[in-house]
Amino acid sequence: MKSITITGSQRESVGKVATKALRNAGKVPCVLYGGDKP
């Protein structure tokens, strides 16, 4: 089985416009559950 490594960063702004800007920058907005931070 293959495994991949991804890196991420916490978003500062939310909403449709911010999400579209992330996509235009070549990033993939997502929701990640678990860990220490809310």
Tell the residue number behind the tokens 């890196």, with chain if given: 7
Chain-wide mean pLDDT for the chain? 89
Query: Rounded to whole angstroms, how far apart are CA atoms 31 and 34?
Result: 10
> What is the C-alpha end-to-end distance of the chain, expressed in Å?
31
pLDDT at 38: 61
pLDDT digits (tens, 9 = 90+) for 28-37: 998 888 878 6
Give the CA distances from residue 1 to residues 4, 9, 38, in Å, rounded to whole numbers and listed in that order: 10, 26, 31
What's the whole-model pTM score? 0.63
